[in-house]
Structure 1
Amino acid sequence: MKEKLFILGLDCIDSNILDNLNFTPNIKKMVAQGTYGTLNSTIPPITVPAWSSMLSGKDPGELGVYGFRNRRTYRYDDEVFASSHMVKFDRLWDLFSKVNKKSIIVGVPQTYPINPINGFLVSGFDSPKNSNEFCYPKELSTFIKEEIGEYLFDVTDFRNTPLDEVLDTVYSMTEKRFDLMENLIRENEWDFSILCEIGTDRIHHCFWKYHDKNHPEYEYHDKYSNVIIDYYMYIDNRIGRLLNILDDDSTTFLIVSDHGAKAMYGGVCINEILIREGWLVLKEKPNEPTKLTKDLIDWSKTKAWGDGGYYSRIFLNIVGREPQGKISPKDLRHYKEELTKLLQKIKLDNGIEISNKVYWPERIYRRVRGLAPDLIVLLGDLHWRSIGKVGYKSNWIIENDTGTDGANHSMDGVYIISGPNIKKNVRRDSSIYDITPTIIQQFNLPVNDDYIGENIFND
């Protein structure tokens, strides 16, 4: 009997889901029949690069992918959006293909632009909204249109979309994605399939403050306070349908998330802090929150600047590297140490002091490819987001500068694996880097590189 692997990727599902399984009976059944636990994410713990790290066994430095936006050159305004072209290592479907096994890939981030595979591929949420070339083979797009109608990659601008519209779109796109996968695995020969759903992430960001009673902005809402649990129940129902389709005796089923979720307490205005401390000098400070662009900065006096997002990326202005460098390369280590010390503890204008983790890419990654930030800063145990805009009168804000948001990312995702030869009801906390070597050994795939993690089942 041919062994198969099915992976369901649920973006942003937190390990806390394991603490209350009564409303998700199918996940509860998988926990009882399999091995499960937390899955420590990448640094930084965000969708891109986490999914590519999980499916390749490589860290963000090896991939050269440090977020959705990455510096292409050392010019001040030259960034490129992460794409499939940036992943230079085999991901799991490439390894299956090397032993002539077929794959069905739906919704995995960083698969656009598409590359041919041995099987079927539908690119992820980061595909252009109106792309006509999001499938392999190309004719698959005609099949999708005929069977499920318009394919939805994501909720457009979800942070600035009315909540009811977010909710409707999430359910619609999730239904279409699961329907498509059910159809593909029923009607085609395959050995490996993976479906990634971004709806869980969007639901968390938009509705977390109505769900989490420990959220500082918690607000009970007759409609919105049950949204997350209701959506989990819907996902659990779809998991039940998948379990009915898949053969229990031959298919290993893995549920996995790239990172978790937690309450967002607010945003740290990282560039306001750098301005106050003399690291960043503006030609003239705006009177209202304004995106930091190169023309606002006096580069002759600036030593560092930061980007906003789930974490703070700090860049130093180095002589001979940046166009108008300020710091001599021989003094780089000194300035990095000084800035690290400054950012490890930040006192906010409301009197709260937050402790932060400041990482040097060359110290946490096995290799640093591409143009990494000089410092990576995770703020306040990831309860705080980095705000990149300037023009604030304070060094913190309560909201997100890019729109409504109640959640930030946590380091602890989750995995649940069940199937033939999988130990039952065993909890074993693991790392995101363990997924690829585990699958390689379970399915006797070719080992063509060294991997960071290890087989989850190694004693």
Structure 2
Amino acid sequence: MRRGQKVLIIGLDGSSWKILNHMMEEDKMPCLKGLVASGTSGILKSSIPPLTAAAWTSFQTGVNPGKHGIIHFQSFDPVTKQIRLVNSNDIKMKTIWELVSEQKKKVISINVPLTYPPRPLNGIVVGGMLSPRVDERFVYPSEVYHEYIKDRGYKIVAGRLERQAAITLQDFVKEQIEVERKRFDLAKKLMKECEWDLFMVHNQLMDPLQHALFPYLDPQSKEYDERKFEEISKFYEECDKFISDLIEVGGPEATVILLSDHGSKGVSCYVNLNTWLRRMGYLRLTSRRYLGELITLIRRLDAHHLLKKILGKLIKSPTLVMRISGRASQSLIDWKKTKVYSINGIIWGNMHFADPQVANQIVEKLKDWKGPVDNKSIVRRIYRKEEIFSGPYLEQLPDIFLEPHNGYAFYTPLIKDMKMFHMVDVARYERVGTHDLEGILVIKGKNIKDNLRIQANIVDLAPTVLSILDISLPSHMDGRVLEEIFIKKPKIRIGETESLERDEPEKYLEDDEKEIERRLKDLGYL
């Protein structure tokens, strides 16, 4: 193995201290408990919005979405009104993988979001959740696929969450465990057999599991069930073992970083922003709205989710309703008559102002908007993009972002559901967990202080990792080096920002695009 500083990063998608603290108290995660006790840990503030695509891109680049251009898995052009899936070529700044590789250091990245298509670098890239299939296209170099992945049962995700309704909780949890086991087995094998200076593996399935089962993980939830908690906690116990084994293989010289892209919490009510805008007169639909109303009727008739329970056992493709709804929503908007609209405003809301003159009026109405959960305000805070972002891609971003109060999450379908409020019913296998702004951060190493508690921002990780590896920081980075965590502070060197020419974003093949859209719909992102 190579000598010198090494950094091992383990991503725990959607992890929250609310859940992990309970796991440690119940002695379910002894490895994590030891890292927290003997290292630095604390809250890691996510990006705004706290969505997977935005947050992991900010992590990789150390900059805000105004500079890297990504807030969602789909890109929306407010001029042409076109929507398409994003990929690694949409990231407008160099990532830490590229910056470290340029310094002749070895990089291995496994399953990190927004790394497909894998970009050539000094090391290995195994693509993340936007990789359409497990084949040689999602690995660089392709030889790694044939030697380490092909015919070994590696999966990107465990399968549709919709199938949760059709199988037992025990089997559902086992499926998640086995996918992550294969992922960490691959990580250990590459770590043992290949040179590396910067290594990252991403545990993707912690997030969808929490979307599906959060109330059973939170002892403060009224739906908390000790028996179900014990069953679900097996996933966290196994992941803790995977982490422990990987750290052991990495060796005592490696600085270990565990982080999440955002936190998680429960949700009681989904709020349809576009329905609200429609009723307020700011958004107009074309005559094709009747198609949306027909599909809404079909969904309501399936009150007991019988289709889901039956089809979940038989098929792995999305239902016709979901397939139609995802592709038709955008086409229902009458753009000439619409003043305000939301595209991809899920979990945290967003709005584009086609008519900027209504901006202040909208903001005031949002402040007074009450919902069915305890009759409290729906919107906790409103962020104007120019107040929180900077950079050349500011204009293409939504004009405002809406942080919901606890208990609420936003969504924006025009066709899937015309109701403004949708109360969550745990018994109907709905998405009962949502995202929180506060994620987790744990850092352990020979030069890291023991038992220190900090707060950091997700953009701080890239400059901190570069400083550990003694690499100069590009001057464009928004994040800071977390100097307070070090026993002996590293030398911080600021380098020049180089211009970056990306290839035109690769267009997905039609079948590949459908596969990724299916996956994102299942997780509630589309």
Answer whether TM exceeds 0.5 for this pair.
yes
Q: CA deviation at 1:382?
A: 7.0
Name 2:410's counterpart in structure 1: 385
Q: How does 1:441-452 map to 2 (within 5 A)?
A: 441-452=467-478
Q: Does 1:423 align with 2:449?
A: yes
Whether 1:309 aligns to 2:356 is: no
Q: Deviations over 1:189-222 (max 9, x none)?
A: 1111000110101111111122224446x26374
Greater share of helix residues, 1 or 2? 2
Query: Partner of 1:279 in structure 2?
Result: 282
Q: Distance in 2 between matches of 1:360 and 1:239?
A: 39
Tell me the residue number matched to 1:123. 127
**Mind listing any 5+ residue stretches in structure 1 that lack a counterpart?**
318-326
Q: Does 1:4 align with 2:11?
A: no
* Structure 1 equivalent of residue 481 of structure 2: 455
Distance (whole Å) between structure 2 residues aligned to residue 99 and residue 56 of structure 1: 16
Q: Is the 8 A contact 2:7 2:255 kept in 1?
A: yes
Structure 2 contact 47–55 (Cα < 8 Å) conserved: yes
Question: For residues 163-193 of structure 1, what are the alpha-carbon distances to aligned partners after superposition, in whole Å with 9 as ceiling and x for unaligned?
Answer: 5464343222101110000000001111110
Q: CA RMSD in A?
A: 2.5
User: How far 1:125 moved relative to its partner?
Assistant: 1.4
What residue is the counterpart of 1:398 in the other structure?
423
Matches within 5 A, 1:178-217: 178-215=184-221
1:368-387 alpha-carbon deviations (Å, 9 max, x no partner): 51621122222224742324
**1-structure distance, mates of 2:76, 2:419:** 28
What TM-score, normalized by structure 1, do the two folds share?
Answer: 0.88
Equivalences for residues 13-412 of structure 1 within 5 A: 13-17=15-19, 19-20=21-22, 21=24, 22-72=27-77, 74-76=79-81, 78-129=82-133, 131-145=135-149, 149-159=152-162, 161-162=164-165, 164=168, 166-215=172-221, 218=223, 220=225, 222=227, 224-248=228-252, 250-284=253-287, 285-286=289-290, 287-288=293-294, 291=325, 293-307=329-343, 308-317=345-354, 327=355, 332=356, 334-348=357-371, 352-356=375-379, 357-369=381-393, 371-381=396-406, 383-390=408-415, 394-399=419-424, 404-412=430-438
Cα distance in 2 for partners of 1:17, 1:313 equals 28
Q: Decide whether aligned partners of structure 1 residues 215 and 394 sit closer, same or farther in structure 2, where only a CA change above 3 A counts.
A: farther
Structure 2: how far apart are the matches of 1:201 and 1:102?
Answer: 29
Aligned AA (2:147):
F
3-state SS of 1:133 partner: helix
Tell me the secondary structure at the aligned position of residue 310 of structure 1.
coil
Q: Tell me, what secondary structure is at the counterpart of 1:253?
A: strand
Query: Measured at CA, do residues 25 and 70 of structure 1 come closer, stay the same or move farther in structure 2, by a change above 3 Å?
Result: same
- In structure 1, how many angstroms separate the alpha carbons of the residues matched to 2:447 and 2:224? 45
Change (3 A) 1:394 1:207: same
- The alignment covers a number of residue pairs equal to 439
Q: Quick one: which amino acid aligns to residue 361 of structure 1?
A: K
Does residue 440 (structure 1) correspond to residue 440 (structure 2)? The answer is no
- Which secondary structure does the structure 1 equivalent of 2:60 belong to? helix
Change (3 A) 1:144 1:344: farther
Give the secondary-structure state (helix, strand or coil) at the position aligned to 2:352: strand
1:36-86 CA distance string (max 9 Å, x none) = 11101100001101111012111112111011111145233x112121001
Q: CA deviation at 1:19?
A: 3.1
Closer, same or farther in 2 for the Cα pair 1:228/1:456, shift >3 Å?
farther
The alignment-based identity, stated in percent, is 26
AA aligned to 1:40 is K
Could you tell me whether the CA contact under 8 Å between 1:65 and 1:86 is conserved in 2? yes
Query: Per the alignment, do residues 27 and 302 of structure 1 end up closer, same or farther by CA in structure 2, a change over 3 Å counting?
Result: same
Q: Cα 1:155–1:389, aligned 2, differ >3 Å: closer, same or farther? A: farther
What letter corresponds to residue 97 of structure 2 in structure 1? W
Letter in structure 2 aligned against 1:67: H
How far apart, CA to CA, are the structure 2 residues paired with 1:425 and 1:392?
48
